[in-house]
Amino acid sequence: MNDEQRYQQGLKVRTEVLGETHVQRSLDNLNEFNADFQNFISRFAWGEVWSRPGMPRHTRSLVTIAILLSLGRDAELRMHIRACFNNGVTTDDLKELFIHASLYAGLPAANAAMHMAEEVFRELGLQTEHTVEDKSQ
């Protein structure tokens, strides 16, 4: 595959994962300063890594969210929380990921991600139960 084919493959995968609105906004904002970087992202991140057959997108999404949570990369984390549903990730998957990540990335990071996810759920119109019975008693 040549660079142009890899770029086109990357745009396809990037759009499937992040959504047409996000990708189109990136393309609409291309300029002399950021065009090479955006091309690199599409070719390498999306056309090469996210296109590899060795790991399903569901898993890639969860791994990506865990890494971004651990590194405190909030803007990218929010973007990938929004996008993960395009890859079959569920709110229960995220809940378990955040609980697990609290052990390895730290409670404050996982807590912040949990709150961020709840904001994204509201933005996307996803419902979560308001009353949960206290299981500690």
pLDDT digits (tens, 9 = 90+) for 42-72: 999 999 999 999 999 999 999 999 999 999 9
Predicted confidence (pLDDT) per residue in 8-23, tens digit:
999 999 999 999 999 9
Give yes or no: residues 83 and 39 share one domain: no
Give yes or no: residues 61 and 123 share one domain: yes
Give the domain extent around 71.
56-127
- Looking at the whole model, is its pTM more than 0.85? yes
Give yes or no: residues 67 and 102 share one domain: yes
Give yes or no: residues 41 and 87 share one domain: no
Predicted confidence (pLDDT) per residue in 80-109, tens digit:
999 999 999 999 999 999 999 999 999 999
Give yes or no: residues 60 and 50 share one domain: no
Asked if residue 69 is part of any domain, the answer here is yes
DSSP summary character for residue 131: -
The rounded distance, in Å, linking the Cα atoms of 15 and 24 is: 8
Give yes or no: residues 42 and 66 share one domain: no
* Among candidate residues 80, 91, 29, the one with its CA nearest the CA of residue 50: 80
Residue ending a domain, among 54, 81, 96, is 54
The single-letter code of the amino acid at 6 is R
